[in-house]
Amino acid sequence: MSYIKPLILFSLLLASIATATAADSLVIYSGRSDKFVKPVIAEFTRQTGIEVILHAGKSTALLGKLKIEGERTSADLFLSNDAGNLQKGSDWGLFRPMNTALTKDIAPQYRAEDNTWVGLSARARVLVVNTQGPWADKLDSVFDLADPALRGKIGITNSTNGSYIAGVTVYMKAAGVEKTRHWLEGLKTNAEGRVFNKHSKIVKAVAQGRLQAGLVNHYYIYRHLAKHPDAPIKIVLPDQGPNGIGVAWNVAGIAITKHTTKAALAEKLVAFLVSETGQKQFAEVNREYPTRTGVPASPEVPPAGSYKVADVPMAELGRARNATLDLIEQVGMP
């Protein structure tokens, strides 16, 4: 009998430790590659002691999972590589508004109007061009990629790619549906049925001269050049000048789920991610554009504000998403 009481006390101690661990941890449904997220999350845990569990997957699939689970979800936050999914989740009522003090330093165009999501880092859709090929100085617009002379010489991602879908939405809103339709038809012809599942593969193919140009997120070019500084490629910021629509931007961002029981803890993570420390990490680790006002991008990339960006609010990437998907399907994009 004398051993029963210590055994009970030990069991209670284990239970209290498990409870404390669960209470001081957060679960994120993450639609971003771990390599983009883990360094920043690791620094948050180091500074706060709060553990973060990443459930990684495709943003669209995770958003659907969150919707189906409802109040049964284990997710405290939703992290997406695409403003379209974030706004869609907001429209479905899956997120809770954040304290305005958290997001005041993030420009309004990079967050939801009702503060249910906030952009953490931005990326630009740019052209990667082979500098040794005949098209080295002939491309200055994304619409140039539909030129029949480029048949078999361009690289595109598959049409389920989040950045691809968001870019098409921007072009629809800024240049019109019909121009975008003709452009997609030209891309389809020029791709000749070959699509890439990763932007990095497009950059590599252009660097090797197997392709002349491609449409990618800007940081993939700088990542390739960091490993291969003599690669014959360059970045072209498309659609500049007085008649240009500007570069398509998109943001990765985060939202706090409606049914979390750890809203205060979740806001601590958001506060870190939008802080100068968190934002600098996005700039340094990923070569992305910080969304916090006053935090510069990596010196390797063209400074924000130094080129024209398409005047399409990030929230439109969600509101017009269905129309974009309809157009992509009508054209039959691979």
Report pLDDT digits (tens) over 237-282: 999 999 999 999 999 999 999 999 999 999 999 999 999 999 998 8
pLDDT of residue 35: 84
pLDDT of residue 19: 36
Is 244 in the same domain as 130? Answer: yes
How much of the chain, in percent, has pLDDT values that exceed 70? 93
Is 233 in the same domain as 278? Answer: no
Pairing of strands 154-155, 289-290: unpaired
Residue 2 scores a pLDDT above 60: no
Q: What is the pLDDT of residues 188-239, one digit of tens each?
A: 999 998 899 999 999 999 999 999 999 999 999 999 999 999 999 999 999 9
- Asked whether the beta carbons of 258 and 117 are under 8 A apart, the reply is no
Residue 180 scores a pLDDT above 60: yes
* CA–CA gap between residue 73 and residue 51 (Å, rounded): 18
72 within a domain of the structure (yes/no):
yes
- pLDDT-derived band at 22, boundaries 50, 70, 90: low
Residue 121 tokens, joined = 């880092």
Q: What is the pLDDT of residues 40-82, one digit of tens each?
A: 999 999 999 999 999 999 999 999 999 999 999 999 999 999 9
H or E stretch covering 70: none
- Asked whether the beta carbons of 327 and 187 are under 8 A apart, the reply is no
Placement of tokens 């990339």 in the chain: 301
Other Cβ atoms within 10 Å of 298 Cβ, number? 18
- Residues sharing a CB contact under 8 Å with residue 74, sequence separation 6 or more, in sequence order: 27
Is 212 in the same domain as 102? Answer: no
pLDDT of residue 1: 43
314 within a domain of the structure (yes/no):
no
Is 116 in the same domain as 129? Answer: no
pLDDT of residue 286: 84
Other Cβ atoms within 10 Å of 114 Cβ, number? 12
- Asked whether the beta carbons of 164 and 145 are under 8 A apart, the reply is no
* CA–CA gap between residue 102 and residue 271 (Å, rounded): 6
- Residues sharing a CB contact under 8 Å with residue 131, sequence separation 6 or more, in sequence order: 232, 233, 234
Give the CATH number of the domain where residue 264 resides.
3.40.190.10
* Structural domain boundaries enclosing 85: 4-122+251-302
pLDDT of residue 36: 85
Is 113 in the same domain as 98? Answer: yes
pLDDT of residue 23: 63
84 within a domain of the structure (yes/no):
yes
Is 134 in the same domain as 262? Answer: no
Pairing of strands 289-290, 118-130: antiparallel
E strand residue ranges, 65-135: 77-80, 95-96, 118-130
Is 56 in the same domain as 159? Answer: no
110 within a domain of the structure (yes/no):
yes
Is 34 in the same domain as 11? Answer: yes
Q: How many domains does the chain have?
A: 2
When the pLDDT of each residue in the chain is averaged and rounded to a whole number, the result is 92
What DSSP string runs through 193-231? Answer: T--BS-HHHHHHHHHTTS-SEEEEEHHHHHHHHHH-TT-
- Residues sharing a CB contact under 8 Å with residue 1, sequence separation 6 or more, in sequence order: none
- Asked whether the beta carbons of 25 and 32 are under 8 A apart, the reply is no
316 within a domain of the structure (yes/no):
no
pLDDT of residue 282: 84
- Asked whether the beta carbons of 159 and 193 are under 8 A apart, the reply is no
Is 100 in the same domain as 11? Answer: yes
62 exposure class (CB count in 10 Å sphere: 0-12, 13-18, 19+):
buried
How many angstroms from the chain centroid is the CA of residue 229? 26
Residue 24 scores a pLDDT above 90: no
Q: Average pLDDT, stretch 303-313?
A: 94
139 within a domain of the structure (yes/no):
yes
Is 116 in the same domain as 160? Answer: no
Q: What is the pLDDT of residues 287-307, one digit of tens each?
A: 999 999 899 999 999 999 999
Q: What is the pLDDT of residues 102-139, one digit of tens each?
A: 999 998 999 999 999 999 999 999 999 999 999 999 99
Is 93 in the same domain as 134? Answer: no
310 within a domain of the structure (yes/no):
no
pLDDT of residue 90: 97
Q: Average pLDDT, stretch 164-178?
A: 97
* CA–CA gap between residue 328 and residue 334 (Å, rounded): 9
Is 145 in the same domain as 105? Answer: no
Amino acid at 44: F
* CA–CA gap between residue 160 and residue 58 (Å, rounded): 10
315 within a domain of the structure (yes/no):
no
